[in-house]
Homo-oligomer: A and B are copies of this chain.
Amino acid sequence: RHLKFRLISIILFQDVHVMIFIGFGFLMTFLKRYGFSSVGINLLLAAFGLQWGLLMQGIWHLEGGKIKVSILKIINADFSTATVLISFGAVLGKTSPVQLLIMTILEITIFSVNEHLVVAIMKASDVGASMIIHAYGAYFGLAVARVLYRPGLRNGHENDGSVYHSDMFAMIGTIFLWMFWPSFNSAIAEPPLSYTQLTAVINTYLSLAACVLSAYAISSLVEHKGKLDMVHIQNATLAGGVAVGTCADMSIRPFGAMLIGLVAGIISTLGFKYLNPILASNLGIQDTCGVHNLHGLPGILGGLAGIVAAALGKKDGASATMQAAALGSSLGFALVGGTITGLIMKLPFWGQPPDQNCFDDSIYWEVPNEEEENEESLAHGDQSKHKADV
């Protein structure tokens, strides 16, 4: 039993690992001049976060005064890191690495308190972590973004957008997240290798498949001349994985899973189209990646679906009250924790970039000179013709 558990856990751990480092990292590379930071700072925060996460959960589970490391704890460390990477999306391009490391420490610490409360005290069910990772990470990040509001970017920024190839890199992130989400939602299902765990895999797979259809349909409906918008495809196709998280291991049947996925795709796409501009202009929340639409709203949808499913008796031992308390707790810790963290990040000595240098790798990275390259490329073109003559 232990042996088999470890085996399946190593498989699922690798898949979650790919989601954290390739998935989140490349999903954020859509910005035209911020690819180095997206994938590079993602690696830094995740590598730091998983060590901090191991420490934090270790403190809640000391064994003989020592922290023991196991595959399951490593999966949980990757999970706690995910909250930071979600919040990173909300403030992408507008914060320094030092600010983000501070956010990592505080967000994971607060996460471990909320997780302990939800799982150990309330005994709420959240196998795919719609509430404690996705909703928490999104609203934490939005609270930070609110505190760090930049009036100077009210009218946008020339580098806050994509180019053709940067959108292609982002699709690498999207597809890997999409493919391995069933592993994310089933990685800590109990007992391992059971029908329950298998159910979590299949429900997530079906929810994601349905979500793709509604995301494409709505994107085409709301865009000019029925065209598709890459932002929707890169993000809203994943909302089904977020939203089915809490219910993934419950007996919601294929119909339930697909319904959740369909609704998530609709809400998420509409959020990107109509809600994001309102948040920015009316509430002062500049959400670079639209994490509110990919993690926030679908996370709440997941929490609500969990309350309904518990009320309908879809999982033994789950209580609708405790599910609601878990959702409220996750949102509360996120908003309060994010606001406090934002205030600390706003202190003037963390190297926050000025407005004009936002969304630009060259402030933190040695970036190859593209202009010179264009000249060289032309020179090269001549030269290669030359070679062909020889």
Interface residues of A in 125-178 (CB under 8 A from B): 158-159, 161-165, 167-169, 171-172, 175-176, 178
Query: What's the Cα separation between A54 and B361 when bound, in Å?
Result: 45
Query: What's the Cα separation between A69 and B251 when bound, in Å?
Result: 13
A3 within 8 A of B: yes
Interface residues on A, range: 35 or more
Interface residues of A in 258-309 (CB under 8 A from B): 258
The segment from A85-93, A111-119, A206-214, A336-344 found at the interface with B is A206-214
List chain B residues, Cβ under 8 A from A360: 380, 384
A346 within 8 A of B: no
- Tell me if B178 and A21 are in contact (CB < 8 A): yes
Query: What's the Cα separation between A18 and B360 when bound, in Å?
Result: 32
- Tell me if A35 and B168 are in contact (CB < 8 A): yes
- Given contacts A47-B209, A48-B213, are A10 and B368 in contact (CB under 8 A)? no
Interface residues of A in 14-42 (CB under 8 A from B): 14-15, 17-18, 21-22, 25-26, 29, 32-33, 35-36, 39-40
- Tell me if B227 and A366 are in contact (CB < 8 A): yes
Is the contact region of chain A dominated by helix, strand, or loop, or is it mixed? Answer: helix
**Which residue from B25, B159, B384, B387 sits with its C-beta under 8 Å from A175?**
B25
- Tell me if B212 and A43 are in contact (CB < 8 A): yes
20 A/B residue pairs, CB under 8 Å, sorted by A: A3-B4, A8-B10, A22-B179, A32-B373, A36-B168, A43-B178, A43-B233, A43-B237, A47-B209, A51-B213, A71-B198, A71-B201, A74-B202, A161-B368, A164-B370, A227-B364, A228-B365, A229-B365, A230-B365, A370-B381
16 further interface pairs, Cβ-Cβ under 8 Å (given A17-B179, A51-B258, A230-B366): A3-B193, A10-B201, A11-B11, A35-B168, A39-B175, A40-B230, A43-B178, A43-B212, A47-B208, A47-B213, A71-B201, A74-B202, A223-B366, A228-B365, A363-B387, A370-B377
